[in-house]
């Protein structure tokens, strides 16, 4: 008897199953997650002999909730940590939250305002107590949402940037930096938010092109300046020109009267001025512009603060007490009345900075603040990437990193808030300044007071990779898991957070040997989540995705798979609800395939059989290729390719082909062949579920436990990661099955073109099978393509020729309505001809080709080729009809 030559039969109807008839994520996810936590599967052991693999989670704000960016970031991290755990690493994924100084204070102040109170009514101590109370009752909702997504974090190590241990770390490094002259206090121009009433660092300012006006003002017959902010002239203390500008060289050292004020101000020569830009004259307002401040320092100019912290004009005169937006038109009107307005241009588009929290326009403001001297720290952070101690993935984004660290300004770290790490500096009655470490005695006595400001939130989160492991104490966690293995984050906070952690990690841990001083060995950067058309998500566009809504409707696994399947290193991630529905269908496909396997006795007991059919050898060979591919893609952080490889292996090779090819074997008369297939099917599903588990953990664990009859704490998440077995790679079996698939696919395509129903059986004659090496599979091919053996009176009315010399002749008489099918095909041909005509006309238009984007032209050529192929196919089908 030839291989599988028994008469195929349909699989028996299921009598019972360990799995429900349909997959319901809501009935699985919470139960599975609670089992994982209770079993301690997420917990890492610092005393373990296993090699370490550690990720510290980018701490979400205590005020935050799970948005689609978090969902992507967490899916990638969870996929990495779950795989490493299965590979035998001591895997730590450490969770926690950031206290989010400005955002959290704003939340609590809004709640107080609703009660008719302000923080000043409570006082600092009571206000901070209210914030802690809010944090305990309402903060950290995102932690519960992380559970819904399936985050396998070690909850026993959860940290908060203001818990006792991290506060000690903050005070320790501040003192250390202060003593090393890397922290100082000075008057500098900083970014100031008139709404939040605090300084902001450069990275907390979002720039956008806003409409304004450009006004040219005549200061004298020879001096005309242009500005977008006329009100700031009230604080001018000089006019600057280039020292080599022949138009103005004779004026350098003289004075000019500042309009509206009666003050006389000097004209100075400064190389910062571009003589080719505008009139070549620049108004200098040292207290309200960073470049003007530098000019003022070089020429010993006074600095006049002309507005207060709420952006209200403070200089005496008719504009005193006006808001900046009220003062601007008032100043212009007064200048116009004096005939000093030379030109006005509006609207004038120019870059404007906004507070990243409240979107208020930021003011440059001269202020006494605390700064980090970033020069040596930034150099060390750049060197660590240049010499390979830390690798950035994808490598091309290293340029952005270097552009930032190589040109970093000193970092303003003081914030005029009450919620946060208070600056550990005390001032004495006689001008003493004392920086206090965590073990130092706090100065006491009359006249001593602590600095009122708190530290920038990013200061404490810059310590996250080592403070969360117990630094400054030399803990077992620090020894085992530092440096962490990989940081996963969006490219948009490469500057916000990554560079800061690199600086502080290298500085704080430099007592360790150099290679381990870096906070992480790899920085894996992903892009922003966008809609299916590549548009940025925005409430105004109506295209924002709520991952919690998707989890509720489609399940956490479908949400995760949708996000991961679009995640290529450094590239933006397109998603759509339709794709999430497709991911849910994929989970259902796995469920149904595993349920079918269990009903038909598939199992994982014992070794794989040594005597295997070609079909079994083929699927095992395909499995080895898939394991190898997935490993390579994971190591390169190519999550989209991981998902794509697993999707096609699961859906195409396993479900669409192997399961269908296995059906007649499982229900046939050859008991030994059926048992071998049950074991192979069990093995393939077992390995597939392990491979898929990092990305879609819930459904895979439910299925794997059912397949393996798991008991107690057994779970796929602690099962061994698959390893490719080269001995199971079988090129001959793959080639043989590829020929079989080609024949079946071509016959199915012919049937569809002829309008035959999928289940309708048709008599057919198969020729050339022996020469193609697939004669043994004829019963299977007939089973899959719904082809009957020819009987008396067989007449071939259609022929399918397949590469390799195989010909399939079919008798379709009585199976189709020839007239109706001819009408349908004729209509389809006309549509294809119309498409060809339209595409040809556009591609023949030189004007169109010159202007159209390359991708549009490529798409048009693709449409033309498809339409031409359709005409050829339809003509062949019409010819078959006679």
- ∠ CA 481-483-488 to the nearest 5 degrees? 95
* pLDDT at residue 516, rounded to an integer: 65
Phi–psi pair at 716, nearest 5 degrees: -65, -25
* pLDDT at residue 358, rounded to an integer: 85
- Per domain, the residue ranges of the chain are 198-364, 570-729, 753-881
Residue 87 class from Cβ within 10 Å (0-12 exposed, 13-18 middle, 19+ buried)? middle
* pLDDT at residue 882, rounded to an integer: 65
254/232 Cα distance (integer angstroms): 22
pLDDT at 8 over 80: no
What own/partner pairs with CB < 8 Å and gap ≥ 24 does 536-540 have? 537/68
308/289 Cα distance (integer angstroms): 15
Residues 6+ apart with CB under 8 A from 332: 213, 215, 230, 341, 344
- 536 pLDDT band, cuts 50/70/90, is confident
CA 8 to chain centroid: 49
Of 212, 446, 457, 216, which Cα lies nearest the Cα of 348? 212
- 15 pLDDT band, cuts 50/70/90, is very low
Q: What is the pLDDT of residues 675-699, one digit of tens each?
A: 999 999 999 999 999 999 999 999 9
Residues 6+ apart with CB under 8 A from 512: none
Q: Among residues of the chain, what percentage have pLDDT more than 90? A: 75
The pair of structure tokens assigned to 857 is 């032209």
Instruction: Please name every residue paired with 388 in a beta bridge, in sequence order, or none if there are none.
Output: none
Residues, the chain, total?
882
Q: Under DSSP, is residue 531 helix (H, G, I), strand (E, B) or coil?
A: strand
- ∠ CA 330-334-335 to the nearest 5 degrees? 115
Beta strand spans in 96-229 (E): 96-97, 159-160, 183-193, 198-200, 205-218, 224-227
pLDDT at 186 over 50: yes
pLDDT at 231 over 80: yes
Residue 391 marked ligand-binding = no
Q: What is the mean pLDDT of the segment spanning 828-849?
A: 90
Of 76, 26, 60, which Cα lies nearest the Cα of 563? 76
Give the DSSP letter string of 230-296.
GGGGGG--EEEE-TT-TTTGGGTT-EEEPTTT--EEEEEE-TTS-TTSTTSEEEE-TTS-HHHHHHH
Instruction: Please name every residue paired with 763 in a beta bridge, in sequence order, or none if there are none.
Output: 788, 811
pLDDT at 845 over 60: yes
Of 93, 150, 153, 41, which Cα lies nearest the Cα of 558? 150
* pLDDT at residue 222, rounded to an integer: 92
702/680 Cα distance (integer angstroms): 20
* pLDDT at residue 336, rounded to an integer: 94
Helix axes 499-508, 375-386, angle to 10 degrees: 100
pLDDT at 493 over 60: yes
CA dihedral sign, ordered 502, 508, 514, 517: negative
- 1 pLDDT band, cuts 50/70/90, is very low
* pLDDT at residue 423, rounded to an integer: 97
**The CATH homologous superfamily of the domain defined by 753-881:** Valyl-tRNA synthetase, C-terminal domain (1.10.287.380)
- 13 pLDDT band, cuts 50/70/90, is very low
63/102 Cα distance (integer angstroms): 10
pLDDT at 420 over 90: yes
213/803 Cα distance (integer angstroms): 71
- 539 pLDDT band, cuts 50/70/90, is low
* pLDDT at residue 302, rounded to an integer: 94
* pLDDT at residue 4, rounded to an integer: 40
* pLDDT at residue 512, rounded to an integer: 52
- 537 pLDDT band, cuts 50/70/90, is confident
- 802 pLDDT band, cuts 50/70/90, is confident
pLDDT at 477 over 60: yes
Reported as type and span, the H/E element at residue 498 is: none
Q: Tell the residue number behind the tokens 């909730």, with chain if given.
A: 65
- Going by their DSSP bridges, the two strands 454-455 and 484-490 should be labelled as unpaired
- 41 pLDDT band, cuts 50/70/90, is very high
Q: Under DSSP, is residue 188 helix (H, G, I), strand (E, B) or coil?
A: strand
Q: Tell the residue number behind the tokens 């679009």, with chain if given.
A: 566
* pLDDT at residue 347, rounded to an integer: 87
pLDDT at 490 over 60: yes
Of 185, 198, 187, which Cα lies nearest the Cα of 431? 185
800/35 Cα distance (integer angstroms): 54
Q: What is the mean pLDDT of the chain?
A: 91
156/43 Cα distance (integer angstroms): 7
Q: What is the mean pLDDT of the segment spanning 9-16?
A: 35
Phi–psi pair at 262, nearest 5 degrees: 80, -5
Q: What is the mean pLDDT of the segment spanning 599-616?
A: 95
CA 736 to chain centroid: 42
| CATH number listed for the domain at residues 570-729 | 1.10.730.10
Q: What is the pLDDT of residues 267-300, one digit of tens each?
A: 999 999 999 988 999 999 999 998 999 999 999 9
Q: What is the pLDDT of residues 345-355, one digit of tens each?
A: 888 888 889 98
Cβ 340 vs Cβ 277: under 8 Å: no
Q: Which ranges in 600-670 belong to alpha helices (H)?
A: 614-635, 639-648, 659-666
Q: What is the mean pLDDT of the segment spanning 89-104?
A: 95
pLDDT at 6 over 90: no
Please report, for residues 140, 261, 459, 717, the alpha-carbon distance to residue 131 in angstroms, rounded to integers and kept in the order given.
13, 46, 20, 38
pLDDT at 745 over 70: yes
Cβ 563 vs Cβ 71: under 8 Å: yes
583/786 Cα distance (integer angstroms): 29
The structure's pTM equals 0.84
CATH label, 198-364, candidates 3.90.740.10, 3.90.1520.10, 3.40.1830.10, 1.10.10.10: 3.90.740.10
Cβ 281 vs Cβ 248: under 8 Å: yes
Please report, for residues 246, 669, 789, 795, the alpha-carbon distance to residue 765 in angstroms, rounded to integers and kept in the order given.
96, 25, 7, 10
* pLDDT at residue 200, rounded to an integer: 85
Of 96, 86, 89, 100, which Cα lies nearest the Cα of 151? 96
Of 430, 432, 423, 427, which Cα lies nearest the Cα of 453? 423
Of 328, 321, 322, which Cα lies nearest the Cα of 348? 328
pLDDT at 513 over 60: no
Of 131, 57, 64, 59, which Cα lies nearest the Cα of 92? 57
pLDDT at 148 over 60: yes
- Going by their DSSP bridges, the two strands 96-97 and 159-160 should be labelled as parallel
Of 567, 543, 538, which Cα lies nearest the Cα of 637? 567
Q: What is the pLDDT of residues 717-739, one digit of tens each?
A: 999 999 999 999 999 999 999 99
Of 649, 596, 603, 605, which Cα lies nearest the Cα of 626? 649
Q: What is the pLDDT of residues 749-795, one digit of tens each?
A: 988 888 888 889 999 999 999 999 999 999 999 999 999 999 888 98
Residue 735 class from Cβ within 10 Å (0-12 exposed, 13-18 middle, 19+ buried)? exposed
* pLDDT at residue 594, rounded to an integer: 97
Residue 287 class from Cβ within 10 Å (0-12 exposed, 13-18 middle, 19+ buried)? buried
């Amino acid at each position: 008897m030839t291989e599988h030559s028994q008469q195929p039969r349909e699989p028996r109807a299921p009598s019972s199953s360990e799995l429900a008839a349909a997959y319901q994520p809501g009935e699985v996810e919470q139960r599975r997650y609670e089992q994982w936590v209770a079993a301690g599967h997420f917990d890492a052991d610092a005393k373990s002999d296993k090699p370490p693999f550690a990720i510290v989670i980018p701490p979400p704000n205590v005020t935050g909730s799970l948005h689609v960016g978090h969902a992507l970031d967490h899916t990638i991290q969870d996929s990495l940590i779950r795989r490493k755990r299965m590979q035998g690493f001591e895997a730590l994924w450490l969770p926690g939250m950031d206290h989010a100084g400005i955002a959290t204070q704003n939340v609590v102040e809004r709640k107080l305002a609703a009660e008719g109170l302000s923080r000043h009514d409570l006082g600092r101590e009571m206000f901070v107590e209210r914030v802690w109370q809010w944090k305990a009752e309402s903060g950290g909702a995102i932690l519960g949402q992380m559970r819904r997504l399936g985050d396998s974090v070690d909850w026993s190590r959860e940290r908060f940037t203001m818990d006792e241990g991290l506060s000690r770390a903050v005070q320790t490094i501040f003192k250390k930096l202060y003593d090393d002259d890397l922290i100082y206090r000075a008057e500098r121009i900083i970014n100031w938010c008139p709404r939040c009433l605090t300084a902001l660092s450069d990275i907390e300012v979002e720039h956008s092109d806003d409409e304004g006006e450009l006004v040219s003002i005549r200061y004298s017959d020879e001096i005309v300046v242009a500005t977008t902010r006329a009100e700031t002239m009230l604080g001018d203390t000089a006019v600057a020109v280039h020292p080599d500008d022949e138009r103005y060289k004779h004026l350098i050292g003289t004075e000019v009267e500042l309009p509206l004020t009666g003050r006389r101000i000097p004209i100075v020569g400064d190389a910062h001025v571009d003589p080719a830009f505008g009139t070549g004259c620049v108004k200098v307002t040292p207290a309200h512009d960073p470049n003007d401040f530098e000019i003022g320092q070089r020429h010993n100019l006074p600095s006049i603060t002309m507005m207060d912290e709420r952006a209200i004009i403070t200089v005496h005169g008719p504009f005193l007490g006006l808001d900046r937006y009220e003062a601007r038109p008032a100043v212009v009107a007064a200048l116009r009345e004096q005939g000093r307005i030379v030109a006005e241009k509006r609207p004038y588009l120019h870059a404007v900075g906004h507070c990243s929290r409240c979107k208020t326009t930021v003011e440059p403001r001269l202020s006494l603040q605390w700064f980090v001297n970033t020069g040596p720290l930034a150099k060390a952070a750049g060197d660590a990437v240049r010499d390979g101690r830390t690798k950035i993935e994808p490598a091309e984004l290293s340029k952005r990193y270097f552009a930032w660290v190589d040109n970093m300004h000193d970092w303003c770290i003081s914030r005029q808030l009450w919620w946060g790490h208070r600056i550990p500096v005390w001032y004495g009655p006689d001008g003493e300044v004392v920086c206090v470490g965590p073990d130092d005695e706090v100065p006491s006595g009359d006249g001593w007071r602590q600095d009122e400001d708190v530290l920038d939130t990013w200061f404490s989160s810059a310590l996250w990779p080592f403070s969360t492991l117990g630094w400054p104490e030399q803990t077992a966690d620090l020894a085992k898991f530092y440096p962490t293995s990989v940081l996963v984050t969006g490219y948009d906070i490469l500057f916000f957070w990554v560079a800061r952690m690199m600086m502080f990690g290298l500085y704080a841990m430099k007592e360790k040997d150099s290679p381990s001083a870096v906070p992480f060995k790899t920085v894996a950067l992903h892009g922003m989540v966008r809609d299916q058309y590549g548009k940025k998500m925005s409430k105004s566009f109506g295209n924002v995705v709520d991952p919690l809504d998707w989890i509720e409707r489609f399940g956490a696994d479908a949400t995760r798979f949708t996000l991961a399947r679009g995640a290529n290193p450094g590239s933006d991630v397109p998603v759509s609800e339709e794709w999430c529905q497709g991911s849910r269908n994929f989970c259902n496909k796995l469920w149904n395939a595993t349920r079918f396997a269990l009903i038909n006795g598939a199992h994982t007991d014992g070794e794989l059989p040594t005597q295997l059919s070609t079909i079994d050898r083929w699927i095992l060979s395909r499995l080895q290729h898939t394991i190898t591919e997935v490993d390579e893609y994971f190591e390169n952080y190519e999550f989209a390719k991981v998902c794509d490889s697993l999707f096609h292996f699961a859906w195409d090779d396993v479900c669409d082909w192997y399961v269908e090819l296995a059906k007649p074997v499982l229900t046939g008369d050859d008991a030994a062949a059926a048992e071998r297939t049950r074991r192979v099917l069990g093995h393939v599903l077992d390995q597939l579920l392990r491979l898929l588990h990092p990305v879609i953990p819930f459904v895979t664990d439910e299925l794997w436990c059912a397949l393996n009859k798991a008991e107690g704490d057994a779970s796929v998440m602690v099962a061994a990661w698959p390893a490719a077995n080269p001995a199971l790679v079988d090129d001959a079996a793959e080639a043989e099955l590829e020929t079989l698939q080609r024949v079946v696919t071509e016959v199915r395509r012919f049937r569809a073109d002829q309008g035959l129903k999928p289940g309708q059986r048709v008599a057919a004659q198969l020729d050339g099978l022996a020469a193609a090496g697939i004669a043994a599979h004829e019963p299977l091919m007939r089973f899959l393509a719904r082809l009957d053996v020819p009987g008396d009176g067989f007449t071939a009315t259609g022929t399918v020729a397949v590469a390799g010399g195989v010909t399939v002749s079919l008798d379709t008489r009585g199976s189709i309505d020839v007239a109706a099918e001819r009408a349908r095909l004729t209509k389809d041909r006309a549509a294809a001809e119309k498409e060809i005509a339209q595409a040809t006309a556009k591609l023949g238009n030189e004007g169109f080709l010159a202007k159209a984007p390359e991708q549009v032209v490529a798409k048009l050529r693709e449409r033309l080729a498809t339409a031409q192929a359709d005409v050829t196919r339809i003509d062949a089908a019409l010819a078959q009809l006679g």
